[in-house]
A and B are shown apart, each in its own frame.
Chain A
Amino acid sequence: MKSVPMLSSAFLAPAGQSLPQPLLELRQQRGTALVDMPLPTRKTENWKYSSRYLQLTDAIAASLPVSDRIDTPLAKVPGYQVVIRNGVMVPSASTLPAVEGVTISRFADLSDEVASSLAERLDNTLDANAVQLARLNTARFEDGLYIRLAPEAVLDQPLFIIYETDASQSGSAYPRLYVEAGHHSQATIVEEFLSTGSEAALVNAVSEFTLADSAQITNVRLSADGESVQHIGATGARLQGHARFESHCVGFGGPLRRHDLQVRLEKPGAECLLNGAVVTQGRQHYDNHTTIEHIAPHCNSEENYRNIAAGQSHAIFRGRIHIHRDAQKSNGHMNNKNLLLSSGAEIDTKPELEIYADDVKCAHGATIGQLDEESLFYLVARGIPRREAQTLLTMAFINELIQQIPVAAVRDASLPRLNQFIDQTFEEA
């Protein structure tokens, strides 16, 4: 019998960076718990399509070096900006808001008292059984970003968090975000993942959001790491009464892209919108897993994910809505549409509804299709070159979701990138 692969002990080396004592202790604790952690295999249900792309080698186990240097001047963003490089904040490249009630601190700067209270709450938005690897983030983070919105505080402009990974050498980075939104507070937080360099690297990113009554958080997540980077991400959100969490994910494929999104609607009136658009080509791989827990009655959830797979690539969507026994009058709506651009591409979709309450409205739909030949002919018959027409139609497929992103700068930046990416996929054809 073949033995189960274990997490290499190289991943459990002690911290290099000084964190406040309570966070160091939490790291230590998580690290100890990960000794002998079995790694996901083909037989692990929620990793069955992705386990073989997960390469947790000793070379990748090393922490990527911390550096204040920014090689690539980042485009000026219209709003506030925090740059996180290899998992550690770069204050010199960051523009923080001076808005009443909004506190943004790096973990390294927290007092022991605040750090101690934070340490108790980290990981609480995520189901450890479903996202085992998120625990590796907690065992390894060198820094993190802690955002507190006081009750009724409103962040007037989007905050852009740019996570840049320098893969000019092999190693891993563990960016961490914790957002605590007080009641009636509002913020839009854009997370963008980028990388430079071409050595094998791992980004293991965890973002957590807690929303008190009537808080409103919009979270945009752009996943655009390079071809040598494996990206494993987890986002968790817990919502109190009448809170609203909006998530818009835009993902470009890579050797391994995995994102787990878990939302818990814990008090009546809470609602979420989860949108996701993914494009893959070549031999790329993208695996999205979402879970919405309807725990309290009278909560609403809406989810729309779309995948476009070209070449020999593989895109996966698994969406789960779990309506607990007491969650009467729940509204859940999940939709997953997929576009296959080549006969070699693969898309797997698995919508799951698990309903224990009897008075709920819950629906899901999933489709997989190809570009419509009739539409294509119509465009080409107007003189539009075939490749351009294919790109137009493919863009139309995800444009609907992109247009729902409530930050113009993100839409404006995403569309040409998606267009270029999609246009490339038709190059060979």
Chain B
Amino acid sequence: MLSIKNLHASVEGKQILNGLSLEIKAGEVHAIMGPNGSGKSTLSQVLAGNEAFEVTEGEVLMDGTNLLDKATEVRAQEGLFLAFQYPVEIPGVSNMQFLHTSVNALRKHRGEPELNAAEFIKLARETSKQVDLDPSFLKRGVNEGFSGGEKKRNEIMQALLLQPRLAILDETDSGLDIDALKVVSDGVNALRSADRAILMITHYQRLLNYIVPDFVHVLSEGKIIKSGGRELALELEERGYGWLGIKDDAETAS
């Protein structure tokens, strides 16, 4: 489904990704782990189409077509979803208006009839219950005044609503207490299916106790330096990144 070959990317002139390659097939759940500054978030931003990041070499194919040539909105319409590490607050645009517009943009792209307000509200209410969000949040501004946990639940709620082909979760576990982590994990596990792939990006392996990956990759200095099964994550937890020859500057970076 997703094929990343020799990807190089930079931001503000600084090279972050240095030849990253990765193959993800439908039905698989992959986890990318690595210390801060290894390029985890850059990868997610590049895949989603953030123009602040420049791809200097390599290619990314999604379902056989060149992903990097496509506008951000087209990537989303074709089924790529990024759960943001830091969801943005947008006062003045209600969650309802935002999500309704988004759902209809995707439906329109697929040639399906758009949902009217009543149909959408019904769908949104059902979905919000899945991640334990009070449906009244729909009336509030996008992420406005949300706690860290609410923001992450809202991201997963959006994934459930948009039913992507490929869901990328960027540090979805950060800032969550154990109850919220369970709710979010249940949401993500509900997304697992044979025709969908999930790519989790995380610093800690805690999340992987709840969402069990098929493959684990270690990212360092913009490249994948080791891949394995779920046992690799456990080994990382036990031994840290040091045994792989990686300096983990996580404690010093913000």
Contacts and interface: CB of A to CB of B under 8 A. Distances in A.
B92 A400 contact: yes
Interface string A84-100: 00000000000000000
Interface string A384-408: 1110110011011101100000000
Contacts of A397: 92
Contact of B98 (A373, A385, A386, A392): A392
A147 interface: no
A309 to B, nearest CB: 18
Contacts of A117: none
B102 A382 contact: yes
A379 interface: yes
Contacts of B162: 382-383
Given A377-B72, A384-B105, A385-B73, A399 B92 contact: yes
B243 to A, nearest CB: 36
Contacts of A388: 101, 105
A386 B71 CA distance: 9
B82 interface: yes
Nearest to A399: B92
Contacts of B93: 379, 392-393, 395-396
A374 B51 CA distance: 11
A371 to B, nearest CB: 11
A381 interface: yes
Interface residues of A, number: 23
Interface string B62-77: 0000000001110111
Interface residues of B, number: 30
Contacts of B105: 382-385, 388
A381 B92 contact: no
Contact of A386 (B52, B73, B91): B73
A356 interface: no
A384 B49 contact: no
Contacts of A385: 73, 105
Interface in B235-251: none
Interface in B138-195: 141-142, 158, 162
A375 interface: yes
B92 A384 contact: no
A381 B49 contact: yes
Contacts of A110: none
Contacts of B72: 377, 380-381, 386
A281 B48 CA distance: 32
Nearest to A386: B73
A53 interface: no
Nearest to A382: B102
B73 A384 contact: yes
B90 interface: yes
Most buried by B among A379, A382, A383: A383
B88 interface: yes
Contacts of A380: 49, 71-73, 76
B98 A382 contact: yes
B16 interface: no
A396 B49 contact: no
Given A382-B76, A382-B158, A383-B76, A375 B49 contact: no
Interface string A353-387: 00000000000000000001111011111111110
A378 B90 contact: yes
A388 B104 CA distance: 12
A295 to B, nearest CB: 35
Interface in B84-112: 84, 87-88, 90-93, 97-98, 101-102, 105-106, 109
- Those 7 A-B pairs whose CB atoms lie nearest each other, nearest first: A396-B92, A383-B76, A382-B102, A383-B105, A378-B88, A380-B72, A383-B77
28 contacts: A373-B52, A375-B88, A377-B50, A379-B90, A379-B93, A381-B73, A381-B82, A381-B84, A382-B76, A382-B162, A383-B77, A383-B102, A383-B105, A383-B106, A383-B109, A383-B162, A384-B98, A385-B73, A385-B105, A386-B72, A386-B73, A388-B105, A392-B97, A392-B98, A392-B101, A393-B90, A395-B92, A399-B92
Interface of B: 48-52, 71-73, 75-77, 82, 84, 87-88, 90-93, 97-98, 101-102, 105-106, 109, 141-142, 158, 162
